[in-house]
Structure 1
Amino acid sequence: MLYWLFKYVLIGPVLWLFGRPTIEGQHHIPKKGPVILAGNHRAVVDSFFLVLMVRRRITFVAKSEYFTGTGVKGAMQRWFFGGAGQVPIDRSGADASRAALDTAIGILDKGGVWGIYPEGTRSPDGCLYKGKTGAIRVALETGAPVIPVVVHGGDAVNPPGTRMWRFSKVRITVGEPIDFSRYRELRGYQAVVRAATDELMSVLCDQSGQEYVDVYGADVKSGDAA
């Protein structure tokens, strides 16, 4: 209930006002059954526009810090991110990666739509960075189709480094499902999972028009911080 209230009443009108969003290729998303939506990630609002424009409910796995705040601010943050279709995962432990994948598998086992940004973080500079292998590991384990989605213009509405929103135009493109079935029998091999992940990132690069950088975005951010 909160998800649909968030989508159509609370944040939806604001997104329509600032982003005037459109979506192309929505017919590629099955009307039912497990689906992995794998996208580029240039702005915080990317997830909000996907939630608004995709007809099916999308669930993202988010860091637990969004849900553990205290006081009025913490309560509002939990309400906001919960309404946006995000579920918490503790990323501090040694098995955090496995816990995130198990959560995603649980979403798909129930026939849901799992939203994931393979880069693992927002792009620090607008480029598309090397993908982490989690999305493909889940795809190969569950057999769920992987559908590439690209948000164009989210960073114009919500420029990185600022909380201010600007009026612009957001366009979402949904690509054809990518067939990774040929990799399933070899999913235990890291090189195979890496090759499939690189294939996914190549599709996202072609559809987004972003420059590809073959290093992890998180490493670039860490280097900038250092």
Structure 2
Amino acid sequence: MSTVIVIRIPGVRLSREQCDALLHNILGENYSHVHLCHAVDAPETYIYLADFLEHPVAPAQASTTTETDSISTLAAAIAQHYPDANTNLLQQTMDLQGQAWGKTATFHYVVETDVDAAAEADFNDWYTQEHMPGLAAVPGTVRTMRLYNQDGAPRYHALYLLQTQETFGSPQWLAVRGTEWSSRVRPHFKNTKRTMFNIIR
């Protein structure tokens, strides 16, 4: 199963140069493609370490235990520079080409959430069968993806790469969000965080 590391740093917007310096200081040259983005409405940086923006991520060769130990070491190193940072290893569970596949994405919308245990099966069916395919088909959506945070919270991480911010909130987008199934599932969300990001690189 493909994996991606996400580093969340609240309270700051790291420049490309600051991001590169941080990662090089900790990892040297031993890291994959970097996706850097800044929250639109608050000073916050997300860094994704993987090649997932342009190419599928190859299945991890290391065991889960080794990966977990590596992430713990990375998280501790990041925290020395940014004590409030949160670093997690996420498992990719879904990846869809959007209507605007091949176009340049400039915005990145993320929904992170937990869900009531009793509604989890329905929640996952909704995402897989209706919600994510529907949003992928909206004009201006470049790519959609779901990731699962096995060892942290929120556990579910849905992300949408968009050509423009106007894609979010378009009539087509709102129609997908406004279905009967959506109305049934959404009240079971917990610890939900929704963030629009500018893509820096």
Of Structure 1 and Structure 2, the greater strand share is in: 2
Of Structure 1 and Structure 2, the greater helix share is in: 1
TM-score of the two chains, using structure 1 as the length reference: 0.26
